[in-house]
């Protein structure tokens, strides 16, 4: 079970001809900006993230401030970005998880990342052959 909080884990990348998507699914998150540390919180149980997954993060801004979402791959490349939305609104960003490692879900509005640690880490595991 992953309770996406200030720290959780993920991964992404793609090839020249487009990524080979193994699985495609949504992960619903809500914003919590009620304390000193802001966070993205999973609405339901989060699956094991695997290389080759294409994930659409759907974020409901249940907080009191504007929030955005940037998905950053383990190598530092940006895998997806959604612009800031106001409280009560929802944003979506789709990212291809093409690398094993840790992806960062960051809010880059104002000082949310630097002063309020608003990032979630998601670990992406290797593809399991069936």
Q: Tens digit of pLDDT for each residue in 15-71?
A: 445 678 889 999 999 999 999 999 999 999 988 999 999 999 999 999 999 999 999
- Within a domain: 75: yes
- Within a domain: 16: no
* Range of the structural domain that residue 36 is part of: 23-125
How far apart (Å, rounded) are the C-alpha atoms in residues 118 and 120?
7
CATH of the domain at 67: 2.60.40.420
**What pLDDT is attached to residue 129?**
64
- Within a domain: 2: no
76 has pLDDT over 70? yes
pTM for the model stands at 0.83
Sign of CA dihedral 25, 49, 1, 27: negative
Buried b (16+ CB within 10 A) or exposed e, 93-102: bbbbbbbbbb
Distance in Å from the first CA to the final CA of the chain: 23
- Within a domain: 12: no
Percent share of the chain, pLDDT over 90: 78
Our count of domains for the chain comes to 1
How many other CB atoms sit within 10 Å of the CB of residue 73? Answer: 24
**What pLDDT is attached to residue 9?**
38
- Within a domain: 115: yes
Mean pLDDT taken over the chain? 87
């Amino acid at each position: 079970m992953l309770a996406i909080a200030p720290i959780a884990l993920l991964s992404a990348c793609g090839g020249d001809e487009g990524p080979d998507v193994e699985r495609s699914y949504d992960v619903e998150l809500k914003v919590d900006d009620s304390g000193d540390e802001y966070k993205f919180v999973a609405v339901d149980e989060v699956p094991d993230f695997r290389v080759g997954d294409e994930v659409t993060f759907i974020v409901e801004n249940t907080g009191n401030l504007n929030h955005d979402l940037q998905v950053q791959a383990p190598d530092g490349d940006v895998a997806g970005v959604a612009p800031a939305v106001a409280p009560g609104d929802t944003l979506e960003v789709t990212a291809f998880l093409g690398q094993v490692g840790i992806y960062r879900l960051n809010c880059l509005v104002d000082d949310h990342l630097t002063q309020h640690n608003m990032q979630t880490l998601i670990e992406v595991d290797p593809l399991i052959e069936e």
